Structure 1
Amino acid sequence: MLRKYTASLCLLISFLLCIVTGCSPAIANDEQKIIVQKWVGNENKYEEYKEISDNQQVLYVKRIMDEANWRDAHVEFVRPADYQFIFQFKNPTIESKAVLYSVWVSPKEDLFEMTQGEQEFTQLSKKESARLLEIIGE
């Protein structure tokens, strides 16, 4: 009788462990950095501009990107993006597909229009644009 309950208890514990580990949220930030490139010249050329490794800034930019109202749209601009950036893990053994974020700054420098990859577009609020410019810009 005890053996029957022991086997059932072990099975229940194993099942619960599988559920708990499978449903636990992923680590929000596995120590990432942001690699920023800036448009130079009149052609579609970019140079490495800045590397952002401050964890608070990286998390803030990730939050802005996650909460942005991305729309499926193929957009074309009259000039190349002012900035491009990607998130990259600090640990070189962690591999992931990098998503390129392209940023166009409005003439008044108060709004950002952005693409995520090649098919998603958003326009950030003035507040988010200003904060993002502080982080990735000058």
Structure 2
Amino acid sequence: MNFKTLKLLISLIGIFSILLVGCSNDLQNTELSIVVEKRIGDENNYEDFREVTDNEQVQKLKEILKDANWINAKAEMVTPPDYRFAFRFKNPNIEAKAVLYELWITPNIDKVVLIGGNQYVKLDIDKSAELFKIVTGEELTDQ
């Protein structure tokens, strides 16, 4: 094998590897959706509200949750959450323990409070509006 052939073969392997990694990341990212439930009345009763399947929105919500300043604490709220949501794999053959996120709208209707597992966070106005829009498809200020 001459030097040019070897160089071409190494280049093709490199390109193939880059494509394979890029495609596998896309596949991994598109496997998730967000399932949202909305509280009915004042009790702890919920109904299916919507499912977010748009990959950009799913990734944006994951980013907001990852960047939030979570507090490790067992928080208890006076009322049941206004909404609940969880990430779900689109492929039913993939099993994973999902974290249920509970969402409350603050009395001023400008922020949201989240509890996920044993963590608690109150998002700022901008992140609250962005998260609420992804989760519900509605504007927070319209509540």
TM-score by length of 1: 0.76
Identity fraction in percent = 43
Moved over 2 A (4+): none
The aligned runs of 1:1-138 (5 Å cut-off) are 27=25, 29-117=29-117, 119-137=118-136, 138=138
Q: Secondary structure at the match of 1:95?
A: coil
Looking at structure 2, the residues matched to 75 and 128 of structure 1 have their Cα atoms a distance apart, in angstroms, of 20
Deviation at 1:30, TM superposition (A): 4.6
Unaligned runs of 5+ in 2: 1-20, 139-143
Unaligned runs of 5+ in 1: 1-23
* Larger Rg computed on CA atoms: 1
Q: Secondary structure at the match of 1:64?
A: helix
The RMSD of aligned alpha carbons is: 1.6
TM-score by length of 2: 0.74
Q: Deviations over 1:31-60 (max 9, x none)?
A: 210000011112111110010000000000
